[in-house]
Structures are given as structure tokens and as C-alpha cells.
Structure 1
Amino acid sequence: MSVRRRLGLLLVAAALPAALLTAPAHAARPAPTAVDVVGLGVAEAHTLLTQRKVTSVQLVDSYLQRIEAYEDAYGDQPGVNAVITVNRHARAEAARLDAERRSGRTRGPLHGIPIVVKDNFDTVGMPTTSGSVALRDLYPRDDATQIRKLRDAGAIILAKTNLHEFAMNITTISSLGGQTRNPYDQQRIPGGSSGGTGAAVAASFAPAGMGSDTCGSIRIPAAHNNLVGLRPTLGLSSRDGVAPLASTQDTAGPLAGSVRDVALILDATVGYDPKDPVTAAAKGNIPRSYLTGMTNNSLQGKKVGVFTDYFGTTDAAQDTNELVRAAIDDMAALGAESVELGPQPEIMAAAAAANRVRDEFERDLNAYLDAARGKPRDLARLEPPYREITLADIATSGQVTPSVLTTLRNWVDSPTLPNPSYTEKLRQRDILQAKLTELMAEHDLDALVYPTISEPPAVIGTTQSYLNCRLAGYSGFPALSVPAGFTADGLPVGVELLGEPFAEPALLSMGYAYEQATEHRTPPESTPALR
């Protein structure tokens, strides 16, 4: 019996109130429906709902059918294994939103749209586990701010998705969710740490989803799953209620099948939140809509700097290099000027020295856990203080996937902040920000361009480098990953555009023009339409 099925039975056995009941990934078996949702985006679903060609209930049923069909082993495939928990009330929520629509009330383009969210977003009525068996009974006091905003906009939280446990790596394996697989080749990783969201959206378990990005955790799954993923400027969107990895690096944002869909979700989720003081920087930096300015001609007159240091030198990187070079040529054909920047040793050195995760994780996770409810008493009693869950309790429990458990045990009793080593890392972050700004000003650039990740998705059980995440992750600058095509083996590759703080409108408009001209988005063959 799978961990997720055991979790579902535990919830039922505990006779929790109905508002708190959730289901394991395959508990719901909706009636058959004729809606084909393969490749259906948020914007297209909105149009179908507006035209009364489908209902939200039909959409929920269709996505649940796909989860039922493709999540576990089927045919000659091992199964995508992207979902930790399904929202048992999703169909009822869809029915209420359908009734609102019939009464003449709609909340906007997300009204009645099902989405999936990484299982480190606090979601009332569902556990927020960070992929860990240790936290399977951890329930949030309230929704994360971005989840609340999505609900207010009419979105339906369909399911919580797997992640690399505690968002610690890019292969997306966890003690609670197991190994998530890439729908384009189920023997390969989906990227991470938001790999469950990436795989679920690619497999059409939902038209879009939410992830978090501390270094590359939104953009890498986007690249590996032929999706669009945006790491927003640090401060544009609230991190309140998102289990932290490092507060000076963490961001949270959307993954979807198109730039337009990312913009629609961004419109609903950005803005100042007093629960996350860093978002004060967003004041005055948010457009009326991120859809504004997105045209097929948006690359005309733009200037992009080719960050050559991020092109890989391994044999495995050559296909990626060729596809990203072709993407740059396509951008030039669409009116952009490209500039070869050559080696940037000062930027590379600062990026290599600016990672604060090791310093901040224990402090930030303990603060997050302190605010949670539904804390398992047996877990809290393992280490002092005995009434609160801490990193030390989790590490002592051993209820964590082995590679992550080793890291957690090494990070218990981290040095108190601030300290000279941590202060130096913050100084290197400042140098990185200054050098990036200087480079872009020197060449009058609208964006830097480079491979999102230097190699295609790795085979499960192996590793791959993901150093290309550093420029955005450690500086706090925004970056957009857009599909750049497929290798000869049919593996997706992403091209990334990085801009200065709050340059999301420009990045989205450039990405949109490139996307519309190249049309690289193709659903995976391993999860076809249901008959």
C-alpha cells in the first residue's frame, strides 16, 4: 500500500471534520465526461466556461480521471506519480462556482479553473507536508497568501503535488510522495524541486500550477516538462504560508503551458502583503495587467545578452546548447538584437559565493513550524522544546528520504545569525546584483539569455548540474523559462530570460512573442487523451 493511500486511510479513520478531509491521489472516481483537457490552457478553459461549453464540475471530473488513469503504473509505464493529496471537496467547490456563474457573478479569468499546488503551500483543509512522512499530519492555520488570492479569484485547488523533500534538490523524490517521473520519458526526472507541479501540468492533470523557487525550483521543472515557468522578483509576490528554504532567496510563482496563462495567474497573486514585509518593494511596481504589451511583435527592438558562461561543456549539454542557440536566432529573426557577452568571471564568482540556504534553513523552517497546527505530538517530543516541532525533531525521526535526511541532520544546530560567513554571503549577493545591473546597463540589455539548465532531464537515479539557477536565485532578479524545443530523443529544453527587478512585463512580452512564433509546446505522448 502506497504512503499516499495509507495517509488517506489514516484521515478517514481519524474521523476528522468534513472540512478537513482530503483524499489520496486516486480516491475520487468521477462519472465519465467528454471533455478533452489535454493541452488545455487556463485561457482556453476560461473561454469554454464563459461560452457555457463546459462546466467547472466537468473540468474537475476530467482532470481527476486523468490523475486516476496516469498517476500510478499503467500499460508499460510506471506512472507519473506527481500527486500527494487530492482535494476531496474540489467537485463541490466547482459546483458552487458554476452556480455563481449561472447567477451572473464571475470573479475573473480564473473563475472555476482547477489548479495544482506544490505541497509546501499552506492550504486549509489539506495537510502541508513538504513531501515528508514526518509532517503528514501538519495542517495550516490558514491559506498561504497566494492560495487565498487564487481562491478569491475563483481558482479551485485540485490537488497538492510532490516535491523534492523540503525543496532540497531537483530530482523530486520524497518519503511521502516517492519518485515523480517526467511524462516525456518516465525513466527520467521531472526537475525540481517543484517537479510534481511540473509533471502534473505537463500530463494535463491541471492547466496550471504553483511552485516555489529558491534557486531554480520553478524554472528547471518548466524546462524539463516543456512548460513556461516564472521566478518572480523577490518581493513581487508573498511567501507567507510557503514552507521556507531560505527567506532571502525564496520566491513562489506559476508554471503553465503558455506565457499568457502565467500572466493570468500572476495578475491574481502579486502585491504587497503585510505578512511578508519584503513585498513592500512591490508597491508602485505592478502593472494594471501582465497581459498588457504581449504581442507577436514584442521582441522587435529588444536587446538580449547571451550569457555564454551558462552554456554547458559536457557532451550531454550539446543538444541543449544547439536548441538554445536556435532560440536566440529565432529571437533575432523576430527583431531582437543579440550580444555575445563572453566570460563574466566577477559575476560567476559572486554567484558561486552567495548561496544562503545552509545558513537560513533551520531558523526559517523552525519559525514556519511554530505557526502551524495539527502538530504530531510524538514528533514534537523527540527533541526539546518538547511542545514544538523543530528541524531537530524531523531529523531525529528519520522519516525523511535518505539523501535529504543526511542534509537535515548536518544542518541541525546551525550557527546563529548573523555571523561573519553569512555576512560575507550577503555581501556577495549585493556584488552579484550590482554586477548584473552594470552588465545590463553597459550593453543596454533588456534581458540576459541562456539555457535554463545545461542538460536535458537526467535518468532517475543519476544526478545533473543545475548551476544555471544561480543568477536569478541568488540575486533576487526575475527570470522566465520558455520551451525551446526537443532533443533528438524527444526531451524538452528550456531557454531562460533574466531581467532587472520588476521587469516581469518585459520578460513576459518577449517570451510571448518567441512562444507564439515557435510553438514548441507539445503534450507528452505517454499521457494521451482518454477515450
Structure 2
Amino acid sequence: MGSTSPDLDLDLDIQTLTIATFHAALSNKTTTCTDLIQTYLTRITKYNPTLNSLINTNPHALSLAEEKDLETQSLLSESKPFPPLHGIPIIVKDNISTKDIPTTAGVYALRTLSTRTDSDVVSRLRDAGAIILAKANLHEFALQGTSTSSLGGQCLNPFDGSRTPGGSSGGTAVAIAAGLGLVGLGSDTVNSLRSPASACGIVGFRPSWGRVSVEGAVPVSGVQDVLGPMGKTVRDVRAVFDIMKIGEREVNEGEGKGEGEGSRRRIRIGILDAYFGLDDPETDLSEDLVHENEIVQDIVNEAISAIRSSSGSDIEFIHINPTTHPDWRFTTLYSTADTQIYEFQERLNTFLQSPTVISPYHSLEAIAESGDYDKNAVTEVFTATLKDPESFSLSSPGYQTRLKNISILKDSVKQCFEKNDIDALIYPHQRQLVVQIGTTVQPRRNGILAALTGRPAICIPAGFSPPTSTAIQGVPVGLELMGRVGWDEELLDLAERIEGILQKRRVPNMEWI
């Protein structure tokens, strides 16, 4: 089925299209699912060879769209509503299983890995009417933040081709920002949904731990892994999350209680001052880095001022003094509480040996021996477990120590929320701009606090750095909000409101491609 009229789809702006506007166009019969998929496939052909955002497109995407168009006609004729994600093209990070497209984790050795079933989230999205359009590039095994992989290559930032898109869910973010897909899925072990959202000027949401099933995803850490949605707007992200989420939320009732029925409690947001400046006391900092940090601080502080001045009397900001809480620096938390290095090998081996997985290799050791991976992109999470599997395992004393440290951290953050009676913390996702191509590590990101405590966190566009010769619109800077335990829906409400105040999303000018 092709377009039934030459005028179909011409009025849709692919770069500003949302789930709601697409469904409205379907209802008005001014476009079709086939038109939309074909438009995206054309853009993928044009832009992806340069951006390297996608590894595989779904060979059945057009035929699936044709089926959706028949459903559309039937639903409209019977005056029935569309399923929530009817005909919506979704980009899926390539560490999330899809039964009809390989699932590679960006690793050349796993380029033919397939699964007999969809992951739980993909199954839910298909049931809600979505079309899986493509599988996205990511950082090798999702272990770092520049989206460099042996299979997909180096993913480029659509706002600045000399820079990375953050990561590890960089391919998904680039595809959404560049108009190669409408919404997307990513994973987040430390920063990976919010880092590329910040770098590419879109929205990335890390749900509370346990709100979304991770069944069928290539694992890194059972303690920290979550799957979450990415999109151009908070509303689209919420629409996808509403389909992904499972079970009842676990809510810590002691945090940020309201004042009781009949009274509207003011929203209180804590400004996490310790997460703004550079915290490298033993490192010689370059003038360029200091300047970048000043740019980020100015953008986020201006955003906070705009929220404060536009929100009337029901949003209040308070500063969280760094001396009132323990050391929450990334370097400290990574070295004392992050569990990846202890979990990765055993979790990955279990996945590769699952009866639903058809893999050319069945262990991390076998992949390492093959040599078919990017040795510059993997981290010590990959190498240390192979060199010393006894020290870095689920049964090691070091792992138990980190679990205890996570418990202590959770109590510390809970006390911060309770003592200050706050609904959320606010801070820049990262303290410097996204790094240049050729760098395999993205430093100074702030996402680990939510990752270790299992709290919901969302990154939305806060502004852009000044234009340069390689970034004529500037480089995006993201603002992160971390919420109360289990209060994902309330955090999304707050983020949508702040998004409406700031309105900082831009469409990337990709004339450089």
C-alpha cells in the first residue's frame, strides 16, 4: 500500500512530529502509516551513513505499516480509538531483544545474535500498536558514554559532527534528534538514557528500578540496569513509559508528604549545588574545560531562574548545601558502589546461554578470544572480570561491600529528601559539553546518583552553548531532575511543566551532512 493521494504527508513536519499530531493526521486522513515509515526510511538512507546512529533497519517495516493502515481504516469506519502507539515507529537500542532483527549490543562478534522471542518491553510496545523501525547503535556492550562500537562505528552528534552524542544510548538519541524515528528505547546502567538526551537536545527518562522489565535485554548489572523511553517531548516519553511499565510502584511514603486533603502543597525542588562545578581538586584543569563548565552552569542556572519566575507561587527552589550530605561525587560512587565490574561477566554469560538466545558465542571469555570487538571502547568492566574472575564476581566480598555502600547511599539520599521536604533534585546532567570524536570516555556526568539509588530521573533540554564553526546552533545542554522513590508519574508531570516553561528544544541543522 502506498500513498493514496499526492498530498498525503506533505503537511507533516517530521522534525516536530509527535504521537498526538501523527494520530490526529491519521484521523483526518491526511497521512498514512506507510507514508510515515517511507519518510523515515528515506531520511535513514540519506543521513545514517554519516551519523552511524542505526545498525539495522526492520526489513518488514513497510509491510507492517501497510497492515496498520488497514487497521486504521477499520477503526475509523467503526469510530473506535487508536491503540496508544498505533503505527508509531520506534527506534530500539541494539541491546534490547527483537525476534525479527538481530540484537548485537554493538559488538562485531555478536553481529548474528538472534532471539526466539521479543524482550518484554518490545512485546508490550508491539501489542500497543508500535512498529519497530530500526535497531540503534550504542557504545560497545553499553559500557561507556561516547557511543563507539565495533559494529556500528562512531555515532556522530547531529548538532556538531565533531562531537560524540553521549551514550551509551547514543544511536537512539541521534535518530530521534535527526528525525530518523519518532520515539525510542534505551537502557541506563549509570547515565545511558540521560547522557545522550543531554547531548542531543531530546528527553531521556530513567524509570525507578523495577518499574520496567529488563527481561530480554543484554545485561550489565542486575542492580543498576533499567530500560526507558526517549523522545522529543516529555509527553511522548510518558506515552511510551505508560506501555512499558509493569506492576505497582513502590513508594516511600516518608518523602515529601503533602499537607493533607484539601490543600495543595507547593512543589519543592532542591538545587544540588555539589553537582554544578568541577570537582577535580587533584587535577590540573584546562582553561577550555573551566570555560565549558561555566557555560553549563550559566545555562542551568538561567533555566532555574526561568522556572522560578514563570511558575507562580507553587514551585519553590532551595539550595542543598554540599556539607549536609556525604560525598556524592561520581568518582567516589563509581569506585565504592558501582556494581558493573562485579556483575557484567556472569550476567552476560547467563544471557548468552539462555535457551531463547541463538548466539555465535556463549561467554565473555569466548568473545574476548575472538578479538571481534573494539578494544579501545571496552572498559575495565570488560577486562578486569576476565583477568581476575574470583575478585570480580557476584560471590566476592567486594561485591557485598558495594551493596552495603549502595544501601548507605540510599539512606543518605532519603534523608536529604525528608529533611529538606523536597519533591526532586535538580542539576546539570553533565558538567562539561559532550566530548570530541576520538575520545572514548565521557567524564563528569551526574547520572550515577539515580542509578545507584533506583530513583526516577529525567533529562530535558535546558539550552545551548554559544555557536562555533562546527556547531552553528551550539551544543545542547541537559537539565536533570531526580525524583522521589517510585514517583515516576509525578516526576514526568513536573518535567512536562518545566519543559513547557523552558521550550529549549531545537531541530538540528544538518546541512553539514
Q: Which residue number in structure 2 is paired with residue 341 of structure 1?
A: 320
Alignment of 1:65 onto 2:42: yes
Match of 1:127 among 102, 124, 130: 102
- State which of 383, 390, 399 in structure 1 corresponds to 2:372: 399
Structure 1 residue ranges without an equivalent (≥5)? 1-31, 73-78, 273-281, 286-298, 381-388
Question: What residue number does 2:88 align with?
Answer: 113
1:283 CA displacement? 5.0
- Residue 267 of structure 1 is aligned with which of 220, 242, 246? 242
The partner residue of 1:355 within 317, 333, 338 is 338
Partner of 1:386: none
Are 2:249 and 2:486, in contact at CA under 8 Å, matched by a contact in 1? Answer: no
Change (3 A) 1:406 1:322: closer
Uncovered stretches (5+) of structure 2, i.e. residues with no partner = 1-7, 252-263, 279-289, 468-473
1:193-223 deviation digits (Å, cap 9, x = unpaired):
0000000100010111000000110001000
Contact (CA 8 Å) 1:36, 1:62: kept in 2 or not? no
Q: Which residue in the other structure is 2:505 paired with?
A: 521
SS of 2:326's equivalent in the other structure is helix
| Residue among 71, 88, 95 paired with 2:59 | 88
How far apart, in 2, do the equivalents of 1:300 and 1:311 lie? 28
Matched to 1:457, the amino acid is: V
SS of aligned partner of 2:478: strand
Partner of 1:303: 268
CA distance in 1, matches of 2:269, 2:28: 40
Partner of residue 102, structure 1 = 73
What RMSD, in angstroms, separates the aligned Cα atoms of the two structures? 2.0
What's the offset of the Cα at 1:300? Answer: 8.8
What is the CA-CA distance between 1:406 and the residue it aligns to? 6.2
**Matched ranges for 1:169-184 at <5 A:** 169-184=144-159
- Is residue 167 of structure 1 aligned with residue 138 of structure 2? no
Look up the match of 1:468.
446
Q: 1:319 aligned to 295, 316, 323, which one?
A: 295
What is the aligned partner in structure 2 of residue 486 from structure 1? 464
CA contact (8 A) 2:307 2:502 kept: no
> Which amino acid in 1 is paired with 2:408?
I
Matched, 1:365 2:348: yes
Counterpart contact for 2:143–2:379, Cα < 8 Å: no
- The change in CA–CA distance for 1:437 and 1:41 in structure 2 (over 3 A counts) is same
Distance 1:432 1:527 in 2: 46
Amino acid at match of 2:497: A
Shift of 1:417: 2.2
Distance 2:379 2:212 in 1: 32
CA distance in 1, matches of 2:222, 2:185: 18
Equivalent residue for 1:142?
A: 117
Shift of 1:50: 2.5
Distance 1:458 1:90, change over 3 A: same
* 1:284 Cα deviation after fit: 6.9
Query: Which of 16, 19, 31 is the matching residue for 1:54?
Result: 31
Moved more, 470-479 or 172-181: 470-479
Alpha-carbon distance, 1:409 to partner: 3.4
What is the aligned length? 459
Q: Tell me if the contact between 1:330 and 1:514 (Cα under 8 Å) persists in the aligned partners.
A: no
- State how far apart, in whole Å, the 2-side matches of 1:503 and 1:327 are: 23
Cα deviation 1:111-145 (Å, max 9, x = unaligned): 00101010001001111000011001110120000
Moved more, 501-510 or 479-488: 501-510
TM superposition shift of 1:315: 2.6
Q: What residue in structure 1 maps to residue 180 of structure 2? A: 205
- 2 CA distance for matches of 1:37 and 1:211? 21
Deviations, residues 256-303 of structure 1 (Å, cap 9, x unaligned):
00010011001111003xxxxxxxxx3576xxxxxxxxxxxxx99211
Distance 1:487 1:332 in 2: 22
Question: TM-score of the superposition, structure 1-length normalised?
Answer: 0.83
**Residue of structure 1 in register with 2:209 after alignment:** 234
The answer for the alignment partner of 2:406 in structure 1 is 429
Which residue is equivalent to 1:25?
A: none
Q: Which amino acid is the alignment partner of residue 472 of structure 1?
A: A
Q: Deviations over 1:436-470 (max 9, x none)?
A: 11101111101000001111221111343134111
Distance 2:246 2:92 in 1: 19
Deviation at 1:519, TM superposition (A): 1.1
Measured after TM superposition, the shift of residue 503 of structure 1 is 1.4
Instruction: Name the CA shift for 1:122/1:443 in 2 (closer, same or farther; >3 Å).
Output: same
Q: In 2, Cα distance between the equivalents of 1:284 and 1:233?
A: 9
Number of the residue aligned with 1:330: 306
- Superposed displacement of residue 304, structure 1: 0.6
Contact 1:305 1:338 in 2 (8 A): yes
AA aligned opposite 2:270: G
Kept in 2: contact 1:203–1:527 (CA 8 A): no
Match of 2:230, SS?
A: strand
**Partners of 2:265 and 2:27 in 1: CA distance:** 33
Q: Which amino acid aligns with 1:351?
A: L
Q: Provide the C-alpha distance between the structure 1 equivalents of 2:206 and 2:186, rounded to a whole number of angstroms.
A: 9
User: Which residue matches 1:221?
Assistant: 196
Distance, in Å, in 1 between the alignment partners of 2:81 and 2:363 is 42
Contact 1:190 1:225 in 2 (8 A): yes
TM-aligned CA distance change 1:474 to 1:49, over 3 Å:
same
Q: Is the 8 A contact 1:230 1:253 kept in 2?
A: yes
Could you tell me how far 1:43 is from its partner in structure 2?
Answer: 2.2
Judged with a 3 Å threshold, the aligned counterparts in structure 2 of structure 1 residues 185 and 283 are, in CA distance, closer, same or farther, namely closer
Aligned to 1:71, what secondary structure does the other structure show? helix
Q: Which amino acid aligns with 2:97?
A: D
SS at match of 1:150: helix
Amino acid at match of 1:468: N
**CA drift at 1:473:** 1.0
The separation in 2 between residues aligned to 1:308 and 1:526, in whole angstroms, is 35
Within 5 Å, give how 1:450-461 maps onto structure 2.
Answer: 450-461=427-438
Q: Is the partner of 1:122 in helix, strand or coil?
A: coil
Question: Is the contact made by 1:149 and 1:269 (CA closer than 8 Å) also made in structure 2?
Answer: yes
Work out the CA distance in 2 between the residues paired with 1:343 and 1:283: 30
Dislocated runs of 4+, deviation >4 Å: none
Distance in 2 separating the partners of 1:395 and 1:404: 13
